[in-house]
Homo-oligomer: A and B are copies of this chain.
Amino acid sequence: MLFKNISILNESFEIEENMYVGIDGEKITYISKEAPKRGFGRVYDGTGKLLMSGFVNTHAHSPMALMRGYGENMALQDWLNKKIFPFEAKLTGDAVYWATMLAMAESVRFGIVSTTDMYYFSEDMVRAIAESGTKNNLSRSITCFDDSELWELESAKEMKSLFETYHNAEGGRIKVDMSIHAEYTSTSKIVRQMAEYTFSIGANMHVHLSETQSEHEECKARHGMTPAAYFNRLGLFDTPTTAAHCVWIEGEDFEILKEKGVTVASNPVSNMKLASGVCNVPKLLDMGINVSLGTDSVASNNSLNYIEEMKYFATAAKERVKDPTAVTPKQALRAATSSGAQSQGRSDTGVLARGKKADLIVLDISGPHMHPVHSLINNLVYSASGSDVVLTMADGKILYENGKYFTIDLERAVYETERAAKKILQAL
């Protein structure tokens, strides 16, 4: 496939106009101002369009699409205890499969090519992800509230089997990460054993960290140290880790994350909607910590509108540090793409560059809201609408184009997810 006359966001996160970009199979093989001398198959006229790396959503719980808009405007504990937990207790594999499929449809519609997911019913998720053609770093999240050993837990056995069966499946599209849900939902013993196991198999770690003030303060009361210090002491960060939220990290926590190369996955919409706070992204970036972007679940977002998420990311940070110069559009675009790929351990994607995987999106930049163009990078982050994405491609395969889904039966995914949600509500 050959894109012609198209603007691109290049690997330096600069705009180049009137470019040719050629794809062979899964990879980007040609980027030039000059027309190529050979054919690449389909020719895509990019007039009024921008081609860039697809988005990487580094913190999600895709099956929670089932609970979109269910129980709004509630305090966090009420919401969890009265709505989310009882609902989740009735989940079925079928419900998870269809909700994941719906989430993947929404993802590609909004330009998300790759997702980092933390949930359970993992086999059902894998099935939907594999069929959808998207990329995913999937983890079966571990919780433990008693004095069990890691391998006494059914969840741990599932997690191990998941890794052994599916890690790097589908030509690497699917990766299996390890996950401790959070400090307050596990024991020191389990965390230490998970850290050792994860290190031994060379996997990535995904964990919730200091999302709410109460979680953060209760950890300090319980262990005499912050969640970041606690996990670090137990060796969790000895393996490449993505820590979601990090709203309440403080003091030495920043140095720990930097020293250990932990990626912070910031989820500004969910954090603001749940009134959890705003992550100090400018400080993290200033320190050179890898900061990526996540949507969290649509039960607390309530969409996978990733361009909107980028705007929240940049604007919430400015308000957080009372400085309109904080977080540049380039930093926001980097967080949304290459920093996410780094977090997922995918060095072969996250930028539009020769030799990289063709994980790409096309944006329509012809709308009234995208003019005038003093700076297309500014317009991309602050003016674009989520639905400006008109084409989404993973490994060179088109998954979405102009309202059409090529790997997902959207109508059926909507129907089955609605039906599954109703069935669960009836069983409550």
Q: Are B318 and A273 in contact (CB under 8 A)?
A: yes
- The answer on a CB contact under 8 Å between A66 and B372 is yes
| Contact of B371 with A414 in the complex, beta carbons under 8 Å | yes
Distance in angstroms between the alpha carbons of A314 and B273 in the assembled complex: 8
A299→B316 CA distance, assembly (Å): 17
Q: Please measure, in the bound complex, the distance between the C-alpha atom of A169 and the C-alpha atom of B323, giving whole angstroms.
A: 43
**Chain A, 47-88, CB within 8 A of any chain B CB:** 65-76, 79
Among A366, A372, A417, residue most surrounded by chain B Cβ atoms (within 10 Å): A372
| Interface size band for A | 35 or more
CB of A378 within 8 A of CB of B275, answer no
B316 x A272 contact (CB < 8 A): yes
Q: A269-B315, A318-B275, A388-B387 are in contact. Are A302 and B379 (CB under 8 A)?
A: yes
This chain's copy number in the assembly: 2
Inter-subunit contact A378/B72 (CB<8 Å): yes
Are A74 and B324 CB-contacts (below 8 A) given A315-B273, A368-B414? yes
Q: Given A74-B324, A373-B418, A387-B388 in contact, is the A379-B68 Cβ separation under 8 Å?
A: yes
Contact A272 B319 (CB under 8 A): yes
Is there contact, CB below 8 Å, between A368 and B68?
A: no
Is B369 a contact of A69 with CB atoms below 8 Å? no
Segment with Cβ contacts to B, from A104-112, A157-165, A339-347: A104-112
Most B CB within 10 A of own CB, among A75, A102, A272, A321:
A272
Please report the C-alpha to C-alpha distance between residue A103 and residue B326 in the assembled complex, in whole angstroms: 27
Identify A324's interface contact among B274, B321, B375, B378, CB under 8 A: B274
Q: Given that A382-B273, A383-B69, A386-B385 are contacting pairs, would A303 and B374 also be in contact in the complex, using a CB cutoff of 8 Å?
A: no
Complex CA gap A271/B316 in Å reads 10
* Residue from B71, B102, B277, B325 within 8 A of A74 (CB atoms): B325
Interface centre among A65, A79, A368 (most CB of B within 10 A): A368
CA distance A374 to B305 in the complex (A): 19
Q: Does A410 contact B (CB under 8 A)?
A: yes
Residues of A that sit less than 8 Å from B by CB: 65-76, 79, 102-103, 105-106, 109-110, 269, 271-275, 277-278, 298, 301-305, 308, 311-312, 314-316, 318-319, 321-326, 328-329, 366-369, 371-375, 378-379, 382-388, 410, 413-414, 417-418, 421
- Sort A-B residue pairs by CB-CB distance and give the 7 closest, nearest first: A69-B378, A387-B387, A302-B382, A106-B368, A105-B368, A70-B374, A272-B315
